């Protein structure tokens, strides 16, 4: 194990979570793990795996064999790694636009291999196939960097006729923070109903992993309710009974969330506090406030689930799905085609919620990302004029 030094905090910050108003005198205590420990424990296995992924030092190759890197590709090492030089693989001469310049855990990488218009493009990320799409400008890959995956330097490949484009992408680390949340008895009961939670998670995950071929939206994504901001995505949350708020809760220095909110498929009985990493943003809003579709798409689910309450999922095409939890009411039905800005429901506090708010989540190829990172996609992605694309996996 590795122990990183931390500044020693002296106080525990308490606040009423604005995103989770005090419906039943529930107070969220925000605490970094370092409040309870002098150091952060880093799993030696993951530290080792990070090293091994970066250990394969890129081989310097002649300029003619290097890819041309667009100006917004600062995070990419402009050399071709050894694996593109294997026998039978042509030199990498592709032009790849990459965004953002400094990707980090929780975000999204957008990569466009310009001029690569193979009818069935094939791409890999971390040595595994990843969906990519043909556009009039080239081959587009969107790579989710969910908060529960490690930072490091990873390989992206895009096959082209007679060759392969290879890029190294460095994903920076990010601390999403930790929170303690106190629940009333009835809410705590929901949070510990592992069977239903697992059943629902399998359903929601399955729907959020839909990969339909056509991009159904155009233009910059809107806010589903006013006031979109990224604080709260990826936070590790530990849930306790409300009565526990009268005493100090000590988080173990090695505390690890057991899964992802709405995505925890383990129904094995467990001891200790329920805990999930937060898979979206909690946007404060009054009960009944309208929730609008941030972009066009098709409603693929309207359901009631134990943690997420009244839930709407919209498929926007090419692996992008948005989710709206804890709604008071849904004003759309499964199968509805919605336009950007069209009302899909009203804010509520159904499911595991301590007050009215909208939980807004974006899934890319089935993995949750910070919705703000998704909204802040590059301008060059928004000006595409083509509407027909071919999907491959
Ligand atoms: Zn939430």
Q: What is the pLDDT of residue 154?
A: 98
pLDDT, tens digit (0-9, with 9 covering 90-100), for 148-197: 999 999 999 999 888 899 999 999 999 999 999 999 999 999 999 999 99
Sequence length of the chain is 393
Tell me how far the alpha carbon of residue 356 lies from the centroid of ligand 1, in angstroms.
11
Burial bucket for residue 193 (CB in 10 Å: 0-12, 13-18, 19+): middle
Read off the pLDDT of each residue in 213-228 and give the average, rounded to a whole number.
94
pLDDT, tens digit (0-9, with 9 covering 90-100), for 346-382: 999 999 999 999 999 999 999 999 999 999 999 999 8
Tell me how far the alpha carbon of residue 324 lies from the centroid of ligand 1, in angstroms.
9
Domain edges within the chain:
57-173, 178-382
Tell me how far the alpha carbon of residue 191 lies from the centroid of ligand 1, in angstroms.
13
Tokens of 350: 């159904």
Q: Just give the CATH number of 178-382.
A: 2.70.70.10
pLDDT, tens digit (0-9, with 9 covering 90-100), for 260-292: 888 888 777 766 788 999 999 999 999 999 999
Tell me how far the alpha carbon of residue 63 lies from the centroid of ligand 1, in angstroms.
48
Q: What is the pLDDT of residue 55?
A: 35
Tell me how far the alpha carbon of residue 330 lies from the centroid of ligand 1, in angstroms.
17
Q: What is the pLDDT of residue 372?
A: 96
Find how far residue 222's CA is from the centre of its chain: 18
Tell me how far the alpha carbon of residue 282 lies from the centroid of ligand 1, in angstroms.
5
Tell me how far the alpha carbon of residue 11 lies from the centroid of ligand 1, in angstroms.
26
**CATH class of the domain comprising 57-173:** mainly beta
Residues in CB range of 248: below 8 A, 6 or more apart: none
Tell me how far the alpha carbon of residue 185 lies from the centroid of ligand 1, in angstroms.
19
Q: How far apart are CA 55 and CA 53, in angstroms?
A: 6
Answer for the pair 158, 165: CB distance below 8 angstroms, yes or no.
yes
Q: What is the pLDDT of residue 350?
A: 98
Tell me how far the alpha carbon of residue 351 lies from the centroid of ligand 1, in angstroms.
10
Q: How far apart are CA 382 and CA 390, in angstroms?
A: 18
Three-class DSSP category at 389: coil
pLDDT, tens digit (0-9, with 9 covering 90-100), for 38-94: 222 223 333 333 333 333 333 332 222 223 233 233 333 333 333 333 333 444 556
């Amino acid at each position: 194990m590795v122990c990183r030094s931390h500044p020693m905090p002296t106080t525990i910050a308490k606040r009423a979570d604005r995103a989770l108003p005090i419906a039943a005198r529930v107070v969220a205590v925000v605490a970094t793990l370092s409040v309870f420990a002098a150091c952060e424990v880093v799993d030696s296995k993951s530290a080792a795996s990070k090293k091994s992924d970066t250990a394969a030092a890129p081989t310097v190759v002649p300029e003619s064999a290097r890819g041309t890197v667009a100006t917004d590709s600062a995070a990419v090492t402009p050399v071709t790694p050894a694996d593109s030089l294997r026998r039978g693989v042509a030199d990498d001469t592709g032009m790849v636009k990459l965004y953002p310049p400094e990707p980090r855990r929780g975000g999204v990488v957008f990569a466009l291999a310009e001029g690569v218009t193979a009818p069935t493009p094939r791409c890999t990320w971390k040595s595994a196939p990843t969906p990519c799409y043909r556009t009039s400008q080239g081959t587009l890959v969107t790579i989710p960097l969910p908060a529960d995956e490690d930072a490091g330097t990873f390989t992206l490949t895009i096959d082209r006729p007679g060759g392969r484009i290879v890029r190294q992408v460095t994903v920076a680390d990010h601390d999403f923070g930790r929170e303690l949340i106190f629940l009333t008895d009835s809410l705590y009961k929901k949070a510990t109903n592992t069977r239903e939670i697992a059943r629902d998670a399998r359903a929601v995950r399955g729907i959020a992993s839909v990969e339909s071929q056509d991009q159904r939206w155009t233009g910059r994504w809107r806010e589903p309710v006013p006031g979109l901001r990224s604080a709260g995505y990826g936070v590790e949350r530990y849930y306790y009974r409300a009565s526990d708020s009268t005493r100090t809760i000590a988080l173990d220095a090695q505390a690890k969330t057991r899964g992802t909110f709405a995505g925890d498929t383990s129904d094995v009985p467990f001891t200790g506090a329920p805990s999930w990493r937060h898979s979206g943003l909690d946007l404060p809003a009054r009960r009944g406030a309208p929730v609008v579709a941030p972009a066009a798409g098709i409603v693929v689910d309207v359901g009631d689930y134990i943690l997420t309450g009244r839930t709407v999922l919209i498929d926007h095409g090419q692996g992008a799905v948005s989710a709206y939890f804890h709604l008071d009411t849904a004003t759309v039905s499964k199968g509805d085609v919605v336009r950007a800005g069209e009302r899909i429901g009203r804010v509520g506090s159904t499911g595991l919620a301590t007050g009215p708010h909208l939980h807004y989540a974006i899934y890319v190829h089935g993995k949750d990302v910070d919705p703000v990172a998704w909204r802040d996609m590059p301008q060059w992605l928004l000006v595409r004029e083509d509407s027909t694309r071919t999907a491959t996996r």
